[in-house]
Each structure stands twice: as structure tokens, then as C-alpha cells.
Structure 1
Amino acid sequence: MNAPISSLPTRSEPGPAATAPVDEASARLDQALREARRLAAPVGFGASAPAPAAAAAARPMPAAGWLMETLAAFLQPPRGTDPLRALVLHLAASLRCDRVALGLRRRAASEMEVLAVSDLNRPSEAAELVRDLHAAMSEAAASACTLTHPSRRAVPLHPGLAHVQLGRVLGACAVCTVPLGLDGRVVGALTLQRDLGAPFRTEEILRLEQAAQFLAPMLRMHVERRRRDPLAGLGGWPAGLAPLRRPLMLGAAALLCALALLPVRREVVAPAAVHGLHERQLVAPRDGFVAVVHARPGARVVEGQPLVDLDGEGARQELRAAEAAQSQAETAVSEALARHDQAQLVVQMARVDEARARAEQARAELERGRVLAPMSGLVVAGDLSRSVGAPVRRGEALMTVAPAEGFRLVLWVDERDIAAVRVGQTGALRVSASPGRAMALTVTRVTPVATLREGRNGFEVEAALAQAAPALRPGYEGVARLEAGRQLMVRALLGRLPDWLRMSWWTLAG
């Protein structure tokens, strides 16, 4: 009764076991039951014989008939019912169990998986219960023999902690786990639970072990068929569509192939930035300090408007010194004229000219310290409002001004897509500031020099808008899509995977 799986009769092919004569199987099983009753009598199983009338009313179904009904419940389940669930429901009803669970190995070396529970439509709905059932099945698979809780007397092998824990799930219940053996390996297990007052009898365990020998090859074939055909276990086909299952699946496959070969539009997607049609960068005309800032980025300016004033204290001091020297020289000229001193007159007039030149140079330096707008437009870069008093050097960039009308687009195209971009190619642009509006564009120039961006290599492509966009501003960023012909839908779904595989193969194999 608790014999190891290796000692039970196993067959590598399920055909002979499934086609054995019913009479011979019934005779062998009835003989085993009589022997079990004789051995169980001394230890308390069947110690008192029931009355003839009560015995006739409680007489169980013959072993062969019960076995045939069990196999039929699995082989011919109701329409739309999973065979595994039909099997556990039949075992729960015929053996008066509160719960019957079936676990199988999907592959020879895989972990046991609980696939059907009689009182659960989906085993995944009760994770803790499934975990306890899995532990009990694993214990029986490790011992390769039937385990019961509470343990029967005169049985040397006692159940492990998993069976004790599972016996507490329903408060207090009896548990029996029968492994399913095939070719000397455990391919699954059946775990049964019912009230503790009705423990599993020896003849019931013999029936389960006998049924396990017939069910093991059938369950293995069922699992392999489900693994080969994942749609086989879905079920639920309407009665009118069941004969059309194969034609419908072939039609669906043909439709998928047709859709995969359908040509679709190909587009090159690239990030884009909006720049002014021609931008002017303003630099510091001389060394100095930032004194006054008249405009910030985003401000509209007109040509000649002051933008930045540099500190001109040194130039003003030079201007005052030059004006003072000029005044002294002019006074000396007047005195020389009064004295009719021709030599002194010539010297003082030269000093007047020198002082006047120094004053003009100081005034020019003061004028150069004021940076003016070179054209009307927008200030797009250079926020110096927080740099007042900061030193600047001659030639250092201060601000950038771009015209308010007329823009150019700069697209960054990945090097894997640059071959599909040509001058004159059309596309559309959407900026983050107004994502609901698409603006038409045309490629005007492809830069032949690659640039690195975010660790990838790419090329800058310039484009122009087909129509004026008053709401557009320099500095806007968005995404551009360039039309690049047509391609198969399967190629569009795979993306760059074929190119990566081709490049990897060429790299490895040459």
C-alpha cells in the first residue's frame, strides 16, 4: 500500500495498460481488496461487521466500474470543461472528499505544478493553499510512495510537516497524497482532503494507487499535447464552431501572414530643435564688468536698442583727465599769444591736440561699453541678470539675437537611419509647446560630419518649414518624422532587429 513507485508496475507505453481486459483488471483489484481487508482487521480497519441490510446499502461500487468511470471522466469531460478539472471533480464526488488537487510536471526535470483543484476554478486565486498543496505533493514525490495524515498504524513511513500543515487548512482534516509514477519517475501527484472523522481506508488507497497506474501515461500525454498546442487547453469553443476550429485557426494564421506582408509607410523619427534663420551673437567689445542689463532671453528688441552696459569708470576717468589737460593746454596757448611767444605757442597747441585726441578716445571707449541690438528680433540666449558686477573679457559671448520671423530646423538623425534621408524629403514637425499641431517641413541640407549625442553617433540635418508659423519661437524642441518610402509591416514591427542580427553575424562570421 505504501510501496515505492519503482516497485509498482510501470510501462513505457500506455497502450497495453489502457487496452488490458477489464475482467482481468477487476479480478486482480478485487483480490487485492480482499487481502487488504484481511490485513486491516487486526489493526482496527473493518473490525466490526455491519448488518446484512446496512452492508447492502453501503456496498461501494466495484473497483473495475469505479476505475472505468474515473478514466471516462478524464477522457470524455463535459463540453467546455478542462479534463484535469473534470477528473478532480469526479474523484471528489466519488470518494466524498472536501478537496482533490492534481499536480503534474510539465517536463521531466521541472518542478511540480498544481494544475487543478476541485473547489477552485483557478488555482492562482488561492496562493497560500496552492503553496501548501505543492509542498505535500513534493513530499510524496520525494518519498515515491503514498503518504497519509494521520498516519496509519503498521506503516513505517510517516507524513512530513507539509501534510501536517495541510491537515490544518480546513481546521482538522485527513490528507492522502498518491504519487503518479511512470517509467520509474514521479510525473505528478493526487492530494485528497476530507473530514478527520472519515480517514482514508486501505481499500480506497488501493483504488487510488491502481487508478494512478492508468492515469499517469494519459496525463503525461495530455501535458505534452497541451505544451505542443497552447490553444488546446483554452476550450470554450461554441458547439457550432467546434468542427471549424482547425479551418478558423488556419484562416487566422493566413490573415496574420497577409497583414505581415502588407506594405506600410516608413518614417524616420528624429529629435528636432528650432533655430532662427540667421542668429547674431553679441560679444564683449572690451574688458570690463557688467554694469546694467537691459534685456533678457525672450524679450523682443529693435535694432540699436541697448542690451548690456559695461562698467566705464576707467574710461570716464581718462575722459576727465584728458579734458583737464586740454583746458590747461588751451590756457597756456592764450598766455603764449599774449606774450607773442611763437615757440611756446607751438608747444601748447600740440598739447591741446593731444588732450583732444585722448578725450575722443575716452568717449569712444564709453560708447563701446554699451552693447546694442544689431537687428530687430528676439533675445534667444544670454541671461546676464544674475551676472551684474561680474568681469568679462574682450570677445566673450554675452547674448544671442535671432529674427522673430523665419526659422530653420536642426534634426539629429541616428546613423542607422541617415541612409534614408535625402535633400528635398518631406515630413512633419510637432513641438512640445503645441503637440496638437503638425507643421510640414522639407529637408534642405544633410551635414556630412557626424556628432556624438547621448552615447550614440548621428548626423545633423537642416530643414525648413513649408509655411509660416507665427507661434513658433527659437529654442523650441520637438520630434520630426520624415517620410522614407514604404516597407513591410513585419519589418516595421521588428524595427532594427534584422539589421542588428545581420551586423552581428557579419562581425562574428565575416
Structure 2
Amino acid sequence: MNLEDILNTGEDPSDFWNNVLQAVAEDWQLSQCVALQVDGDSVKLFGASQGSNLRSAPAAVRKAIMTHSPQPQVLEENKECWMVLPLEISGSASQISLVAARDGALTETEQRHLCRFVEVAVAAFTAQKKAEVSEKSLDEISRVVDLGLIIGESAHFGEASMKLCNELDTQLKAMRVTLGWRKKGLMELVATNHGGRVRNDTETAGALARAMDEAAEQDCEVGEPKLAGAEINQQHRAFSQSHGNCQIFSLPLRKNGEVHGAVAVEYPADSKAVTQERVDALRVVLDLVSPQLVTLYEKSGWIGARAWRSVRKLFASLLGYRHTGWKLAGLVLVLGFLLCCVIPITYKVKAPFILRTEASADLTAPFSGYIDTVEVNVGDVVQKGQLLVTLDKRELVMQQIELRAERDRSLSEARRYEAEGDLSQMKLSMLAIEQADAKLEVIDYRLARTQIRAPFDGVIVEGDLKERLSSPTQVGEILMRIVQISDLYGELQVDERDIHFLQQDMKGEIAFTSRPEDRFDVLLNAYEPVAVVKETGTDFRVRVSVTDTPEGWWRPGMSGVCKVDVEKRSIAWIYLHRTWNFLRLKLWF
């Protein structure tokens, strides 16, 4: 089925899309062919070939459809090749894609011809709908739209330009068709339907180029007689008067809203071919072929010319009047970065710290027994000699009474044996008395140790014993831990990437996690020569002494952040030196 048959199958857009896709499926041997439009998370189906069902597509294909990629995507799923081909449809706000499946993948050329055929068919149908009020305009569009396929098959810009002029001349039956291209801001003639080399140093060529410039500057169709929408046609009128009052109209060639060239069509003075319907039809065709012409032109010429065009285009976009806001923002960013490279501020090494103390004591159970009373809680500040914990002494008291009774008995026996004159038994009784006295000394010692008192002024940091009342204890078991509040120092955990910046007697500040608004001065003393390897990295232990007066709420074990002043460095170096060092290690330079 050719393009004309597809256009004549019906006026319903859904029928048109189904017929186009069915023809595409037959010509390119596709098992499935679907056209759809993706707008955000919503999908609009335009049409499908017979037997096509997008729901049967693999999940990877459906995911590729929702990516909105402007490039063709080819996926191999279940021994079948799926292709997601984006279409360039003029006037569509969202991307329209062609989803096709077959046994083997299409080549890039076949994909391009497939997309070009669908794009030409859509452009033709759009033009047909616009011009359906005029049967004559419909016939002209059906003939001239084939030009899009001819241009799409061209491999070079010169070939495409010549074909464009010749086909327009044949279809429009014009006196002359000329293609001009914007170079260095001005139009230059590049092709005409007469063939041969086009000269730009003649008066006629200059007048025709100025007429094309007039259309390009206004970005609309300009002609003589005057066309609707054009405000100025001086150059067209001058050209017409100097060439026998011929009729001429020019149409700009656009891509992405930028004018790259123009086409000028000339008719004799008595011709009646210059009509608004013909201009509208030609406008549709040129919008279709313009992107392809621009692409071919960018690939034409030797490598130096292509590079120069790319550089000029880049600087034109940077220095032009468009996108002023973005350019101003970029300029501000560049200036800000340059200022950051020259403005110095104090570089500070940042490291977490833990507050520690020089003196601490573990209070242990002196003997096996039971906890009787607990006088303090964890976190309480205690004074030297303050009672902290008492152990149950009832068993010791019972042992003491029993031993005293045993001693008294042994003493009575010794006196009796002395009166009887039995010296050996008397000595044995005296030995029993000595043994009882020794045991009583042990009992007295333990009774004195049943009261555990604070060895110095400090704070209880471990040992919540109130839930262990009447519970047994073992000899040497740690019951409480007390630390001194005085002589506190900070232990920094400095990353190995920053340790070489630190030196003795450097000054800094610490801030506690619980009181970040308060700052306290510290002085760096020394760091341990052995690193501590952890899962998060390697740290060095650095000790800092607090030069400010310690606060009453300070407790050993509190943590926070310490910043040590190093030296003056630029802002850019401070925030980028770690990234630079990382790249140097990775790239080894």
C-alpha cells in the first residue's frame, strides 16, 4: 500500500494510523507495530497493525517506552527483537514513538527509512486535513509530499539540495526554485533547479539572497504579491520589479525554532499559481525536510569546516541575545568560582571528640554476698567518703556471734584444764582461742567493707544497682564506676586525610552535641602514632586540653565536634581539595 492509498482510505485519524502501521508491518516484515504518545505516566495509543498487542510486550520494553528517550532503543526479549523508535512529528507537544517487533533487528538505515515514512505519512495526513476544503490543494499535497522521502534517501547536503529544487520545480511547475543557506549570518545560494554550479557574485544572486534574508529575519513566508502574515516585502518587490514583475515568494527552513535557510520560488508575471493554499502546502513539506537538510549540512565539508561551524555555533549561543537569564546565571557562577579561588579563609580540620578524664575507679564487691541498699544513681555527683552501697551483713553478724561463743567456750575449757593440771589440753584450747580470734578479725574486716564509699569527688557513670536489691554478688564483680570531673580532656578521632595538617599547640574549639550553641577553647597536645582501623576508615587519636573553665554539666563520655584552626586557604581549595586528591589517586597523576 503506497502513501496515496493510505491517505485515501478514510478521514478518521485512528483508521489512518492503523493503515499506516499495517503497511509498515507488511513492508518491513514486522510481527507487531504500535504508535503511541507518552505524556508523563499516561500513554495514548494512536493505532496498531493487525495482531499487535502492547500488553504482550516484555516488561523491559514497556519500561523503555516510559523513559522518553530521544534515541532509538533496541531490545532482545524472548528471541524477538523489539524496537522503540522516536518520531519527529511537527506540532506534537509530547514524544510520539513507534514500537515494533520482528525476528531480527532493523539496520540503522532501515530504521531511519521506517521513521521517515511514518513521519511523511503523518505530515501528509495533517496537510490533507488542513486543506480538505480545497480539492485542488489536496491533490498538490499528495504529489509534493513524496519529496520528503526523496530527501531522506540523500546521503549528502549538495545532493539533497539539488533534489529539493528539482522536485519542487517539477511539482509546482515554477519558473525557478532556489535554495539559500545562512552562512555567517547572511544567505548564500547553494542550489537551483537549473543545475550546475551556483554563483553568488552576480547581481541577480545578491538580490535573491537579500529576498531570502527578508523572509529569514521575519521568520515567516514573504512574497510579491504580498502574502498574509508578512509585514515587510521590500526586497521581494525590488526583485520582482528588476526581473520583469515576476512573482516570487520565499519560505524559511527551520529546525528547533532557528532559521537555517530559505527556499525562493519564482513564477512568471501572468501566473496564477501563487496562492495561500500552495504556500501552506509547501510550508508543511519544508517543515518536514528542514531537519534532514540541517543534519546533512552539519555533516558536510572537511573536518576543519565542520569543527569551525561547531565552534561558531557554540559561541553564537553563548554570546547571542537568547537565554539571557541562563547566561547571566552561568556568568555569576563563573565569577563566583573565580572569587572563591582567590578569597582566603581559615581552614579548619573537623573531627568528632569524646570527653575523657584522667582518674576513674571501679568499685568492686569485696566478698560474695547480697546487695542491701543503694544510695545513689548513675549520673549523681558524689563527695569523697559518701556512702554509695551497703551489702547485707546479717550472715556476717551471725558468724561473728557464733565465733565469739566458740571462743568463750574454748576459754572456759582452757581454764578448767589449767585447774586440773592438764597442760596439753590447755594448750589445745588456747590454740582454738587464737583461731577464733583470727576468724573474728576476718569477720570484722568484712563487716567494715559492707559499706562501699566514694574514694574521691566525682560522678557515677556506671552501675544502676537499684534494680538488683537483694541480688547476689561475686568477689571482684564491678558494682559501680566513678570518675573525676576535674582534669577533663578531649580525645579527637581525626581522619587520616587530615592528620598531616595538625601540629602541636594548635588552637581550636569544641561544641557538645547536647549544647551546640556553646563553644569552648582547646589546645592540641599530641596524637597517638598508631592508627585505629575501623569499618568507616582509619582514624588517629589526638588529645586536646580544655583551656576554658569546665562547666558543671560536663560529664566524661560526652561527645561533640572539634574544629582546629590550621591556616589560611582559598574557599575553592577548602571545598575541592579532597575531590582533587581522590582524582589523583584514581587517575594516578
Shorter chain as normaliser: what TM range? 0.5 to 0.7
| Residue 132 of structure 2: aligned partner | none
Match of 1:144 among 116, 119, 122: 116
Correspondences of 1:85-484 after superposition (within 5 Å): 112=86, 130=94, 133-135=95-97, 142-145=114-117, 146-148=120-122, 204-214=280-290, 216-218=292-294, 228=314, 235=322, 237=324, 253=334, 256-312=337-393, 315-336=396-417, 339=420, 342-470=423-551, 471-484=553-566
Q: Residue type of the partner of 2:579?
A: L
Distance 1:233 1:113 in 2: 30
Match of 2:585 among 494, 503, 506: 503
How far residue 397 of structure 1 moved from its aligned partner, in angstroms, is 2.9
Higher mean Cα deviation, 482-491 or 225-234?
225-234
- Give 3-state SS (helix, strand or coil) of 1:440's partner: strand
Cα offsets for 1:408-455 (capped at 9, x unmatched): 111111122112222211100000121101111111231222223443
Cα offsets for 1:188-235 (capped at 9, x unmatched): 899xxxxxxxxxx99855531234334544589899789957867993
CA contact (8 A) 1:311 1:369 kept: yes
Q: Residue type of the partner of 1:261?
A: V
Distance 1:334 1:449 in 2: 72
Q: Unaligned regions of 5+ residues in structure 2, if any?
A: 12-67, 74-83, 101-110, 129-147, 157-253, 258-276, 299-308
CA contact (8 A) 2:86 2:97 kept: no
Distance 1:293 1:182 in 2: 97
CA contact (8 A) 2:113 2:152 kept: no
Cα offsets for 1:272-310 (capped at 9, x unmatched): 111234222223333444443322211111112232334
CA contact (8 A) 2:255 2:291 kept: no
CA contact (8 A) 1:182 1:216 kept: no
CA contact (8 A) 2:87 2:98 kept: no
Kindly, what percent of the aligned residue pairs are identical?
21
Cα offsets for 1:62-88 (capped at 9, x unmatched): xxxxxxxxxxxxxxxxxxxxxxxxxxx
- Give 3-state SS (helix, strand or coil) of 1:280's partner: strand
Distance 1:389 1:467 in 2: 45
CA contact (8 A) 1:226 1:233 kept: no
Cα offsets for 1:13-49 (capped at 9, x unmatched): xxxxxxxxxxxxxxxxxxxxxxx9xx9xx9999xxxx
Distance 2:125 2:289 in 1: 23
How far residue 106 of structure 1 moved from its aligned partner, in angstroms, is 7.4
How far residue 268 of structure 1 moved from its aligned partner, in angstroms, is 1.1
2:488 matches 1:488: no
Distance 2:113 2:367 in 1: 90
- Give 3-state SS (helix, strand or coil) of 2:96's partner: helix
Distance 1:233 1:137 in 2: 39
Q: Residue type of the partner of 2:572?
A: V
How far residue 317 of structure 1 moved from its aligned partner, in angstroms, is 4.5
Given the superposition, is the C-alpha separation of residues 151 and 387 from structure 1 closer, same or farther in structure 2, using an over 3 Å criterion?
Answer: same
- Give 3-state SS (helix, strand or coil) of 1:320's partner: helix
| TM superposition score normalised by structure 1 | 0.57
| TM superposition score normalised by structure 2 | 0.50
CA contact (8 A) 1:141 1:188 kept: no
Q: Residue type of the partner of 1:413?
A: V
Given the superposition, is the C-alpha separation of residues 189 and 267 from structure 1 closer, same or farther in structure 2, using an over 3 Å criterion?
Answer: closer
Given the superposition, is the C-alpha separation of residues 302 and 105 from structure 1 closer, same or farther in structure 2, using an over 3 Å criterion?
Answer: closer
Given the superposition, is the C-alpha separation of residues 410 and 105 from structure 1 closer, same or farther in structure 2, using an over 3 Å criterion?
Answer: closer
Q: Unaligned regions of 5+ residues in structure 1, if any?
A: 4-35, 46-103, 124-129, 155-177, 191-200
Q: Residue type of the partner of 2:544?
A: A
CA contact (8 A) 2:85 2:97 kept: no
Distance 1:227 1:115 in 2: 25
Distance 2:428 2:530 in 1: 64
| Residue 172 of structure 2: aligned partner | none
- Give 3-state SS (helix, strand or coil) of 2:569's partner: strand
Given the superposition, is the C-alpha separation of residues 148 and 498 from structure 1 closer, same or farther in structure 2, using an over 3 Å criterion?
Answer: closer
Distance 1:332 1:418 in 2: 79
Higher mean Cα deviation, 323-332 or 275-284?
275-284
Given the superposition, is the C-alpha separation of residues 409 and 252 from structure 1 closer, same or farther in structure 2, using an over 3 Å criterion?
Answer: closer
Given the superposition, is the C-alpha separation of residues 350 and 477 from structure 1 closer, same or farther in structure 2, using an over 3 Å criterion?
Answer: same
Distance 1:189 1:258 in 2: 37
CA-based RMSD: 5.0
Higher mean Cα deviation, 392-401 or 356-365?
392-401
Given the superposition, is the C-alpha separation of residues 211 and 452 from structure 1 closer, same or farther in structure 2, using an over 3 Å criterion?
Answer: closer
Given the superposition, is the C-alpha separation of residues 413 and 212 from structure 1 closer, same or farther in structure 2, using an over 3 Å criterion?
Answer: same
